[in-house]
Amino acid sequence: MTFGQQISIALSCLFVLSCTQPTDETHLDEIKDDKVLVIGTLYSPTSYFEGEKSAVGMDSELAQQFAAYLGVELQIVSNADLSELFAQMNEGKIDIIASGLTVTQARLQKMRFGPPFYQVSQQIVFKQGKKRPRKLKDLTGTLMVAKASSHVDTLSQLKLDNPDLNWQTTNEHNPDELLKLVIDEQIDYTLADSNVLARNRRIYPDLSLAFTVTRDDSLAWALADNDDDSLYSQVIAFFGEQQSSGAMAQLEEKYFGHVQRFDYVDTRAFIKAIDKKLPKYQILFELNADGIKWEQLAALSYQESHWNPRAKSPTGVRGMMMLTLPTAKQMGVKSRLNAEQSIEGGAKYLKRLLARLPESIPESQRFWFALASYNVGYGHLMDARKLAQQSGKNPNSWSHVKQMLPLLEKKKYYRKTKHGYARGREAVHYVDSIRRYYDTLIAMDLDSKLAPIDLELAARIDSLPIPPQIKLVPQEQETVLKN
C-alpha cells in the first residue's frame, strides 16, 4: 500500500472519529489551552541535535511545522533512552514521540502510529577488513543493539527460526554510538537502519554492510494508545498536507537525498585530507567565509581540487577553487596557483552567484543552487528551473530542479532552452558530493585542527573580518602554507 493510499484511508476515518469523540475536553483541547505541544525525541543526527541557532533534524523540523500547524508552541523533550520516552508518553508527559521510530508488530500492540513518512532497511554492519558474515548463522562474535529499539523486535522475530541467534542490548549507547563501537572493535556487529548507516559512513568509511535483514520498514510518529483520537486525527491531516504539497519530498531530499551514493575510496581519501591538508588552509576558508559557512567553502574547494593549490585541468581551470582565467580576472586574482588568492577569488565568485539567484529560492536551499551554477553555469541552471516550472514542479525547490538538470543532456529538452546542452547529470553529482563533504566537516570536531595564524598573512587579508574564535600568534609559530 502506498503512502497516498494510507493517507486516503486514514482521512476517510476522520469523519467517524469526529462523530465518536467524547464531549469532555480532548487531548487536543488541552494542548491548545496550554498552547504547548510536547514532542519526545532521541538525540540523533537524523532526528534531533542542537544546531547553531535551533534544533536540527528531520523529525525536529517536522515537529516545528506541526506545532505551527496547530497554532501552539513546541517543547522538545530529548533523551538518550528510548524506554524512558515510551514511559513518559504513556504517563501523559509527552504528546508524541517523533524520532524516526520503525513501525513493528510488537510496538503496534503498545502504541499507535501516524502515517509513515520514510522507509528504511535494517542491515547487519561489521568493520571493513574483518570476515564478512553473509547470513545469520555467520554472526559468531558480539552483536549488540540498543535496548527498546526496533532492532530488538526484529532479532526476536528472527530468533523464532534461528534459535542459535544471540545478541546483547544496551541502554548506554544509541545506534550511532554502536556503529562507532564497531569501528573501535569493541563489538563485532550491530543492526542499523540504512539511513543511519549511510550518514555515519561519511565519517567512518570502514563501516561495511554485511547483509540486509529487513526491507521497506516504515518510519512514523508514535502516540499513546487510547480512545482519544483528537490529536491523532490532526497528525493524519498534517502528514497528508505535507505529502500533497511536496514539502515532505523537499525535507527528505534535504536530509537523505545526497547520502545514498557511497564511494569508499573517496570517503577514506577525504577523511585523510581533513587530517593532513585541511589544517594548512582552514584559516583561509574561515577568513573568506563572510556570509556563508567556512565548511561550505572548504567542501566546494575539496570537490574542485582536493585542496591542491597547484591543481590544473585540461580545460584550463586551475588552483584551489579551479577558477577559469576570465573568472579569476573578474575576481581580482593575479595568480590562480596561489592558495590565498584562489580561495579569496572563489569565495567572491560564489557569493556573487548566491546574490544573483532569484529571491524566491528559500535561504535553506540557495547554497545548493549556487553550487550547481558554479559547476554548470547560471544560464543552464535557469533553464533547468524553467523546465521544472513547465513540468508542474517547483522551480525554487532543489529536489525538483535536480530532476530537471539531467534533461539538459537530451536533445528533445535542451533544443527548447535558451542556453542549450549542458552536463546536467554531472552537476547533480557535483552538488551531492559537496553536500556529503560539508556534512562530514560539520560532523567532525575540527577546532583542534586549526593551524596557528600568521600575523603577516592576516594583515594581507585585512579587508576580511577575522572570526572572534581565531587567535593570532607570533610569526615564528607560523604553520600556514604560503605559495
Are both 348 and 360 inside the same structural domain? yes
Q: Is a pLDDT exceeding 80 seen at residue 17?
A: no
Are both 77 and 140 inside the same structural domain? no
Domains of the chain: total: 3
Distance CA 358, CA 385 (A): 11
Rounded to the nearest integer, the mean pLDDT of the chain is 84
Indicate which CATH number applies to the domain containing 319: 1.10.530.10
**Which residues does the annotation mark as catalytic?**
304
Q: Is 386 exposed, middle or buried (0-12, 13-18, 19+ CB in 10 A)?
A: middle
Question: According to the model, what pLDDT value does residue 290 have?
Answer: 87
Distance CA 397, CA 197 (A): 26
Q: Is a pLDDT exceeding 80 seen at residue 432?
A: yes
**Degrees to nearest 5, angle at CA 410 with 409 and 415:** 100
The answer to whether residue 58 sits within a structural domain is yes
Distance CA 45, CA 413 (A): 39
Buried b / exposed e across 325-356, counting CB within 10 Å, b at 16+?
Answer: eebbeebebeebbbbbbbbbbbbbbbbebbee
Residue written as cell 535542451? Answer: 414
* Most confident option among 77-86, 330-339, 450-459: 330-339
| Mean pLDDT value across residues 168-173 | 90
The answer to whether residue 126 sits within a structural domain is yes
Are both 28 and 110 inside the same structural domain? yes
Q: State which H helix or E strand residue 15 sits in.
A: helix 14-20
Question: According to the model, what pLDDT value does residue 24 have?
Answer: 77
The answer to whether residue 483 sits within a structural domain is no
Per the CB < 8 A criterion, the answer to whether 158 and 204 are in contact is: no
Are both 352 and 464 inside the same structural domain? yes
Are both 155 and 68 inside the same structural domain? no
Are both 171 and 187 inside the same structural domain? yes
Closest Cα to residue 80, out of 219, 221, 174? 174
The answer to whether residue 473 sits within a structural domain is yes
**349-398 pLDDT, tens per residue?**
999 999 999 999 998 889 999 999 999 999 999 999 999 999 999 999 99
How would residue 268 be classed by pLDDT, with cut points 50, 70 and 90?
Answer: confident
Are both 398 and 333 inside the same structural domain? yes
The answer to whether residue 259 sits within a structural domain is no
Sign of CA dihedral 246, 248, 249, 251: positive
**188-238 pLDDT, tens per residue?**
999 999 888 988 887 888 999 999 999 989 999 999 999 899 999 999 999
**105-138 pLDDT, tens per residue?**
889 999 999 999 888 899 999 999 999 999 999 9
Rounded to a whole number, what is the largest CA-CA distance in the chain?
79
Question: According to the model, what pLDDT value does residue 316 have?
Answer: 84
Question: According to the model, what pLDDT value does residue 474 have?
Answer: 34
* Residues paired with 120 in a beta bridge: 217
- From residue 460, alpha-carbon distances to 382, 463, 466 in Å are 37, 8, 12
Residue at 393: amino acid letter:
K
pTM of the model: 0.64
How would residue 49 be classed by pLDDT, with cut points 50, 70 and 90?
Answer: very low
Are both 42 and 182 inside the same structural domain? no
> Residue 100 region, left (φ>0) first, then alpha (ψ -120 to 50), else beta?
left
Q: Is a pLDDT exceeding 50 seen at residue 276?
A: yes
Lowest mean pLDDT among 25-29, 36-40, 49-53, 243-247: 49-53
* Residues paired with 122 in a beta bridge: 193, 214
Q: Is a pLDDT exceeding 80 seen at residue 296?
A: yes
Cell of 13: 476515518
The answer to whether residue 251 sits within a structural domain is no
Distance CA 13, CA 78 (A): 32
The answer to whether residue 255 sits within a structural domain is no
Containing domain of residue 40, as a range?
3-116+219-245
Are both 129 and 107 inside the same structural domain? no
Question: According to the model, what pLDDT value does residue 458 have?
Answer: 45
**Degrees to nearest 5, angle at CA 272 with 309 and 434:** 65
Are both 105 and 174 inside the same structural domain? no
Question: According to the model, what pLDDT value does residue 445 have?
Answer: 63
Instruction: Give every CB contact of residue 278 below 8 A, 6+ residues apart in sequence.
Output: 298, 307, 446, 449
Are both 323 and 469 inside the same structural domain? yes
Indicate which CATH number applies to the domain containing 47: 3.40.190.10
Are both 208 and 290 inside the same structural domain? no
The answer to whether residue 254 sits within a structural domain is no
Q: Is a pLDDT exceeding 90 seen at residue 5?
A: no
